[in-house]
Amino acid sequence: MTPDSRPAKEPLALSPELREAVRRIARTEHLLVALDFDGTISPIVDRAGDARPLPRSATAFAGLAALPRTTTALLSGRALASLRAVASPPVNTLLIGSHGAEAWLGPGSAELTLDEGQRLLLAQVRGVLEDIVEQAPGTLLEDKPAGVVLHTRLAEDDVAEDAVAAARSVLQNRKGVFLKEGKRVLETSVVNASKGEGLTFLRQITGATAVLFAGDDVTDEDALARLEPGDVGVKVGLDFTQAEFRVEAPVHVAELLEALLQERSLVVAEEGPAAD
């Protein structure tokens, strides 16, 4: 086959500016690669239990997790048990679940516990949402250790909007109840936490000198807002964002992770596996 007859390659999804940022951050002393899960390394699906990471993303993420001076983490709105089940993360990957309310930092990590008042309040919140779901076809509930999620992805648009509006009208001013709206979900929690707080916590405990964070949802903006000079923030999708960089879809996150793995591997080979 002559060069002129070769099929044209698909254009690369990463901008030259993002590729340069990847090369730069790959040289940091201790790199934290923190990612949202749904809509970032896994495509959005109708049923939460069906989500899985794209194979290329999973392979590159595992490769990064195995490198010296490199920490991988998942920051998700999912409960930790759900995140583990669908993500099957590398054993040394740190996990932040329930939008920062849950954390797994290795064996012996303490589980989230609610006091009696929080447990009572959570039961009341669930009762409110159960009444709404009964009247809103296509909506359903998901229980988390500190909250309940109203899912509307399977509902008609007008039904979904009415269900969320009804839930907000009852719960938004209730003391001790915290609401977060994402893509076709309304998150309720009796613990005030955010992915931003989760990311700051991960930076502190790992001693990371730079962070790469990627996410697709409104709730990921909390984490993007906590990035510091020298970090790299990537928005997945076309929605408004404060991130410096953007890719269009989870398949392009795979390309991002592969590029980062390649660059970071070269750095480690050049500098040697010095102790953390």
Residue written as tokens 């009341």? 124
Bridging pattern class, strands 94-97 and 70-75: parallel
Residue 23 in this model has a pLDDT that exceeds 80: yes
pTM to 2 decimal places: 0.82
Position 167 confidence tier, pLDDT thresholds 50, 70, 90: very high
DSSP 222-275: HHHTT--TT-EEEEESSS----SEEESSHHHHHHHHHHHHHHHHHHHHHH----
Residue 12 in this model has a pLDDT that exceeds 60: no
Question: What are 118-135's pLDDT values in tens digits?
Answer: 999 999 999 999 999 999
pLDDT at position 273, please? 55
User: Collapsing DSSP states into helix, strand and coil, what is residue 161?
Assistant: helix
pLDDT at position 274, please? 57
The two structure tokens encoding residue 35 = 């990612």
pLDDT at position 113, please? 86
pLDDT at position 212, please? 98
pLDDT at position 5, please? 41
Question: What are 36-88's pLDDT values in tens digits?
Answer: 999 999 999 988 889 999 999 999 999 999 999 999 999 999 999 999 999 99
> Where does the chain have alpha helices with state H?
16-25, 55-65, 80-87, 116-135, 157-171, 195-206, 221-224, 250-271
Residue 3 in this model has a pLDDT that exceeds 90: no
Domains belonging to the chain, first-starting first, are: 14-101+193-271 (3.40.50.1000), 116-189 (3.90.1070)
